[in-house]
Amino acid sequence: MAKKKRTKAKQAKTKRPAKKFRKVVKLSSAKKPKKGNGASLPKMSSKPFGKDGKALTGVRILDFTHVQSGPTCTQLLAWLGADCIKVERPGAGDITRGQLVDVKGADSLYFTMLNHNKRSITIDSKHPQGMRVLEALVKTCDVLVENFAPGALDRMGLTWERIHKLNPRMIVASVKGFGPGPYEDCKVYENVAQCAGGSASTTGFREGPPLVTGAQIGDSGTGLHLALGIVSALYQRNRTGRGQKVLTAMQDGVLNLCRVKLRDQQRIEKGPLTEYSQHSEGVPFGVSVPRAGNDSGGGQPGWILKCKGWESDPDAYIYFITQAPVWQAICDLIGEPTWKTDPEYATPRARLPKLKAIFARIEQWTMTKTKFEVMKLCNHVDIPVGPILSMKEIAEEPSLRKTGTVVEVDHPTRGKYLTVGNPIKMSDSISEVKRSPLLGEHTDEILIDVLGFKANEVAEIKNSGALSAPKKEEKAA
Ligand code: COA
C-alpha cells in the first residue's frame, strides 16, 4: 500500500502519464515529452488516408441509452469508429423499436435511424447474473453512456462510486432533462426541453402561441453536446489516466443553441431590437425577447417569400436575405435600379422602417420564378437565399446521396430504408453506415469474444434468465 502511494506521488511529481495509459497507447518516436499535454505524437502513419482505422478505433462504449438523445450520441461515436455495445432490456429493448411502426413485425424507423453501427446485447440489469455481465462490461469498456430518468442508474446499483471502483478509467456520460436545481428529478422529452431552454418562447409569430421546432434540438442537439464531452474526456484521460463524469442537461443544450436570444434579452433592456420587423412595424417591445417570425437571427434582415407555385405547393418558398453589401445587386435583379441611389432605400438604416414593403416588392419578383430559379439567379450575384426544401426533395437530392448524408440501408426484417448518414466528414476516418442491430443480436459474441466468458459460464448466465424476457407466468406473478 505504502509502495503504491509512493509511486502515485512520484507520478504526480514528474507529470508522467498514468501507468495504465502507458500500457495502452504506444508513444513511438517519443524521445522528449512535448510541452503542454505531456505526451508526444505517435509516428505518422504510412497508410493512405482513410485506411488506418477510424478516429475512435479502440474505444469501447457501454451504450445504456434509449429513445433519441442518448442514441444520437452513441450513433455518432459508432460512426467515428467506437465499438458500441447497446444494452437492452430482454424481450422489449429500446422502447423506440416498437414506436411509430411502419412495417409490421420489424424495428421501426425511429429505432433503426438512431442505432446504426451498434451491437445489441440483452441484459436484465436488475438480475444478479445480469449485473455480473454488466460489471464485466464496465471493466472492459471505456465509456458508459446513459440517458435514464434521474436516479435510475443508481437504483440499478451502478453508482459513479461503484463504476469508478470497478474501472477508474471509465467515463460515465449522461443526458438528463435538467441540471442540478429545482427540476433535476424531472423526466424530460424533446419538447419539454425546447420549452424550458428558451426555444419555444422565441419561436413562432408574435401574434401566435410559442412554437416548437421540427429540428430535434432537445434530443439530438443534446446528444451532440454529450458526444463532444465524451471525446474531450477521452482526450483528457490520455493525460490523467482517469475517467470522469460528463453531464449534459437538455435544458442547457437547447439554451446553448438559443445563445443569440439571450444576447437579445440583454439588448432589449437597453432599447428596441431594431433588426426585428416588430420594430419597423412600430410595435413596442415588452420585457423579454419576443417571437420574431421569420426574421433572421443576425443583423441582416431576411424573410420567407413566396415563389412560383406557392398556391398549390406548401414548400414553394425561399428565405431571402437583404444583405447590405449586395443591396445594389438585389435592386437590379428585382427591377428597382433607382433604389440603389434613392436616399430612402440606399442605406440599411433608411430601409429598416420599410422592410415589410421592401420584402413585399422582392416577393413580387420571387413569385415569378421557382425557388430553384431564384436560388440560381441570386447566387450568381452572391445574394444569400435558402430554398425551402421539403423532406421529399431532400430524400431525392442526388448530391446528398453522393456525399453519404442521405444513405439507403438494407435491413433483414424491414428491407431497404433511407437514413441520414454521418454529417461529420473526416478525411482519415471515413464512416460507413451499417444497419441497426436486431434485439440481442450480438449477445453471444459479446459474452464470449468481448467478455471472455467460458461456455459453461454463458450457459449458467443464460439459464438464470438474466438475458431473456421473463416467461408469461412469471410476469403475471
Ligand atoms: N433491465 C432492467 N431494467 C431496466 C433496463 C434493463 N436492461 N433498462 C432500463 N431499465 C429500467 C430502469 O432501471 C428504470 O427502472 P426504475 O425506474 O425502477 O429504476 C426503468 O427501466 C425506466 O427507465 P426510465 O429512464 O425511467 O424510462 P421511462 O420510459 O420511464 O422514461 C425518459 C423515459 C426519456 C423520460 C427518461 O429516461 C428521462 O427523462 N431520461 C433523461 C432525459 C432524456 O434523455 N430524455 C430524452 C429522451 S429522447
User: Which residue is associated with the grid cell 437514413?
Assistant: 419
- If you measure from the C-alpha of residue 466 to the centroid of ligand 1, how many angstroms do you get, rounded to a whole number? 18
Atom nearest to 125 CA in ligand 1: 1
Q: What is the DSSP string of 431-477?
A: ----PPPPTTTTHHHIIIIIT---HHHHHHHHHTTTTSPPPHHHHH-
Q: Mean pLDDT check: name the lowest of 38-47, 51-60, 176-185, 220-229.
A: 38-47
Confidence (pTM) = 0.90
Structural domains present in the chain: 60-257+434-476 (3.40.50.10540), 294-306+317-387 (3.30.1540.10)
Is the CB–ligand 1 distance for residue 139 below 6 Å? no
Above pLDDT 90, what percent of the chain? 85
3-state SS string for 113-164: CCCCCEEEEECCCCCHHHHHHHHHHHHHCCEEEECCCCCHHHHHCCCHHHHH
pLDDT in tens, 396-413: 999 999 999 999 999 999
pLDDT tens per residue, range 68-101: 999 999 999 999 999 999 999 999 999 999 999 9
**Does position 41 have pLDDT exceeding 80, yes or no?**
yes
Just list the catalytic residues: 219
Average pLDDT score over residue span 132-140: 98
Q: How confident is the model at residue 26 (pLDDT cuts 50, 70, 90)?
A: very low
Is 176 near ligand 1, meaning CB less than 6 Å away? yes
Residue 65 Cα: closest atom of ligand 1: 44
In the block, residue with C-alpha cell 507520478:
11
Mutate to test the pocket of ligand 1, among 159, 187, 219 (most ligand atoms within 8 A of CB): 187
Residue nearest to atom 33 of ligand 1 (CA): 149
Higher confidence at residue 30 or residue 261? 261
Give whole-number Cα distances, 346 to 74, 321, 324, 349, 355, in Å: 51, 16, 9, 9, 13
Q: Cα of 146 to ligand 1 centre, how many Å?
A: 9
125 Cβ closer than 6 Å to some ligand 1 atom: yes
CA distances from 209 to 202, 213, 214, 292 (A): 10, 13, 16, 12
**What does the pLDDT look like over 202-219, one tens digit per residue?**
999 999 999 999 999 999
Which residues, at least 6 apart from 12, have a Cβ–Cβ distance to it below 8 Å?
none
Return d(Cα 390, Cα 394) in angstroms, integer: 6
Closest to 389 (Cα-Cα) out of 406, 407, 404: 406
pLDDT per position as a tens digit, 421-432: 999 999 999 999
Spacing, Cα 230 to ligand 1 middle (Å)? 21
Q: Is 127 in the pocket of ligand 1 (CB under 6 A)?
A: no
Ligand 1 center–CA 215 separation, angstroms: 23
pLDDT digit string, tens, across residues 172-202: 999 999 999 999 999 999 999 999 999 999 9
- Which of 4-8, 264-268, 300-304 bottoms out in mean pLDDT, i.e. has the lowest? 4-8
Distance of alpha carbon 204 from the chain centroid? 23
Q: 380 with 324: CB under 8 angstroms?
A: no
Query: How far apart are alpha carbons 374 and 371 in whole angstroms?
Result: 5
> Does residue 68's CB lie within 6 angstroms of at least one atom of ligand 1?
yes
Q: Residue 59: its pLDDT value, please?
A: 98
Q: Give 34's pLDDT tier (boundaries 50, 70, 90).
A: low
Q: Is the CB of 362 under 6 A from ligand 1?
A: no
